[in-house]
Structure 1
Amino acid sequence: MDRFRFLAVAKRSMSSLNTASIPKTQKVVLINDVGDYDVLKYENYAVPSISDDEILIKNKFAGVNFIEAYFRKGIYPAQLPYLLGREATGVVVAKGQGVSNFEVGDKVGYLSGATFAQYTKYPAIGKIVKLPSNSSDEKMKLYTAALLQGLTALTFIHDAYEVKKDDYILFYAAAGGVGLIMTQLLKRKGAHTIAVVSNDDKKKLVEEFGAEYVINSSEGDILDKVLQITGGQGVDAVFDSVGKDTFETSLNALKIKGSFVSFGNASGPVTPFPLSKLSAKNIKLLRPQLYGYITEPADWKRYTEELLDLLESGELRILINKTYPLEAYQQAARDLESRKTTGKLVLEIPQ
């Protein structure tokens, strides 16, 4: 894929190019404390200086993810002040003099912290992909919406638990960003999807995206319905992004030798439990995170190429629910965490 060049370059010891045209301050969203939505601040912050081996990216779009809530609430530790954000697309506006694989003006998509900002510095070697020079704003928004959650879904169904044809797979928050992507990828692999949503509108949406079975969690017991669907056997694997509230249901929904993939804390962290709970059915329990599967350059290249191929071919649909201005992130967070949204939320960065 010569439109998407994956980046690896040796470090050089040189000074940065002239960045006189770059402002000294920028608008960002950050937290100075942990707590409720009121700790989210939209304010001025210094534009970072780059070293010889870094680039400075002027962001155009950033993706909204549930992980920001974990930092805001103190579930995940962070050094304060902490700039939020995990993924973005933008344009290279400055580069260190040791950087040879980027030019000013290159359009890029990347995974990084501190993307809820007008500018982000980034190493020349990193989780970054060069986008086509003719990428429109709408195309860059699509890449933003797909990058983190698409790679999460791809790696989890290959590496956390390798989904096989005819497997029964239970997963939650199926109308969300990861959920809609996982729905499509599981169907593509020939698995039987059992998707959990919270209302009938989301049920209809997930069915439109290809889910075979959809359970509305507000209408009866999830476990009973899973056992009915599987003839009492249970599922081969569970992908659980909810955490505390669904742990027991997920555990009981698994068949003998099933795999429990826990990757979120939407309802709070799982309450500590004795490992002996896994023994009755020889359950495998995993707590993966995306970066563990894309650390090696070959893995990053393989998974990113696969994701971009799926997007370009139209085999993978990405639903962007709403685009908010950066200054309205607090409302985006409220909407996401109140389960009012479907698909992906995106922030548009002021230029």
Structure 2
Amino acid sequence: MVRVVRFHELGGPEVLRIEDVDVAGPGPGEVQIRVKALGLNRAEALIRSGAYIETPPLPSGLGLEAAGIIEAVGEGVEGLAPGDAVSVVPPPSMVRWPAYGELASFPARLVVKHPPSLSFEVAAAVWMQYLTAYGALIDIARLHPGDFVAITAASSSVGLAAIEIANRLGATAIAITRTSAKKQALTEFGAAHVIASAEEDLGARLAEIAGPAGVRVVFDPVGGPAFEPLTAAMSPGGILIEYGGLSPEPTPFPLFAVLSKSLTLRGYLVHEIISDPERLEAAKAFILDGLADGSLRPVIARTFPFDEIVEAHRFLESNEQFGKVVVTV
């Protein structure tokens, strides 16, 4: 029997339960990990509340990111062995491969021997944020030196990863956050410019910063009314990549900006990268190089023990964090 987190009904953080269950060994092509740390993501709050793209059968496990030590390997697995310290690229289904538990199994192709210099807590905070930002900014938008890139929800783990990647490529990162509370932290982290969208005129500030060239890339998980000032500030031929829908308000389609500037508005899920072996290998190489040279440094907002998973989810949804929420097991 091992301890896992499950929920038997949809709802708030309080529906999460730690239960003792029997866990099967790894199947063919899988690796079973003795979990040491979990990286928490908004997707887990969404699936728990019934608002995710995946519908869970109840009771259900959850969780996308983990780091730990390999306990066992399934048939056909090569290059990985019990005792290896590893971290996990988020699987395509957290219902099929839930991470929240003392033992968890994952497809071997998504298990990575992370750099020995990383702690388990930091290793659990790597893959979702950097793969999401890499896939959007490099694989899709082809970000290059001199580009202006507007990054909304900039203090999230993905937003911070996007700032680092923009800086690594020589682009200009414009961090957009709701209030000025995190402005200084974002500046110190490396954002070239920071806009508090609830306190400043977003469109005017973007135009002031980017000038006539405009913002070529917008990276947004929010949607809602901000689509209009964001697209108004974009350069001809620019691309807006939408990877979420956090705004409770309707998202307008900025027809005339799209037409007059030949803009691309593109929906994006990180699974595009994860499901393509060639693109995933390129992404992993970029991220591992960045971790090694120090240009990519995961930020942990707060760490919770496994027994406080409910409190960890409450903090995850508080919007108070700067970086990743991590749970130690």
Corresponding position of 2:237: 257
* Cα pair 1:59 1:117 within 8 Å, conserved: yes
- Work out the CA distance in 2 between the residues paired with 1:39 and 1:84: 12
Q: Does 1:78 align with 2:55?
A: yes
Q: CA deviation at 1:186?
A: 0.7
1:104 corresponds to which residue? Answer: 82
Q: Deviations over 1:82-138 (max 9, x none)?
A: 2121111111112234434332212211123311111112233x2121246xx47x6
Question: Where do 5+ consecutive residues of structure 2 fail to align?
Answer: none
Distance 1:185 1:100 in 2: 32
The offset of 1:195, in angstroms, is 0.7
Rg larger in 1 or in 2?
1
In the alignment, structure 1 residue 62 sits paired with structure 2 residue 46: no
| Change beyond 3 A, Cα 1:70–1:278 | farther
| Offset of residue 272 of structure 1 | 7.4
> Shift of the alpha carbon at 1:286?
0.9
Q: Is 1:40 matched up with 2:16?
A: yes
User: Separation in 2 of the partners of 1:42 and 1:245?
Assistant: 39
Find the partner of 1:240 among 217, 220, 230: 220
SS at 1:236's partner residue? strand
Question: What is the CA–CA distance in structure 2 between the aligned matches of 1:248 and 1:325, rounded to whole Å?
Answer: 42
How do 1:298-317 residues align onto structure 2 when only pairs under 5 Å count? 298-317=278-297
Measured in 1, the distance between the counterparts of 2:121 and 2:127 equals 10
- CA-CA distance at 1:275 after TM superposition: 6.9
How far does residue 152 in structure 1 lie from its aligned partner after superposition?
1.5
Distance 2:114 2:162 in 1: 24
Deviation, structure 1 residue 277: 7.1
Q: Is the 8 A contact 2:70 2:81 kept in 1?
A: yes
Deviation string 1:125-164 (CA, Å, 9 cap, x unpaired) is x2121246xx47x622222112221121122111221112
SS at match of 1:83: coil
In 2, the alpha carbon distance for the partners of 1:144 and 1:207 equals 25
Contact 1:50 1:121 in 2 (8 A): yes
Structure 1 stretches of 4+ moved >6 Å? 274-277
SS at match of 1:338: coil
Is the contact made by 2:221 and 2:246 (CA closer than 8 Å) also made in structure 1? yes
Change (3 A) 1:213 1:232: same
Aligned partners of 1:257, 1:99: CA distance in 2, in Å? 45
Q: CA contact under 8 A between 1:48 and 1:119: conserved in structure 2?
A: no
Q: Paired residue for 2:107, among 120, 123, 143?
A: 123
TM-score (norm 2): 0.88
- SS of alignment partner, residue 231 of structure 1: helix
- What RMSD, in angstroms, separates the aligned Cα atoms of the two structures? 2.4
Letter in 1 for 2:233: A
Distance in 2 of aligned mates of 1:284 and 1:169? 14
Query: Which residue is equivalent to 2:179?
Result: 199
CA distance in 1, matches of 2:256, 2:11: 35
Deviations 1:267-313 (A, max 9, x none): 24864759787324321011111221233333222221221121122
Which residue does 1:10 correspond to in 2? none
- Figure out how many residues of one structure are paired with residues of the other and give that number: 321
In percent, how many aligned pairs have the same letter?
33
Change (3 A) 1:174 1:94: same
Within 5 Å, give how 1:113-262 maps onto structure 2. Answer: 113=94, 114-124=98-108, 126-131=109-114, 135=116, 139-231=119-211, 234-262=214-242
Seen in structure 2, the aligned counterparts of structure 1 residues 115 and 225 have a Cα distance that, compared at 3 Å, is same
Task: Output the amino acid matched with 1:210.
Answer: G
SS at match of 1:316: coil
Q: 3-state SS of the aligned residue for 2:119? A: helix
Q: Is 1:327–2:295 an aligned residue pair?
A: no
Equivalent-residue separation in structure 2 for 1:244 and 1:46 (angstroms)? 44
2:6 maps to: 30
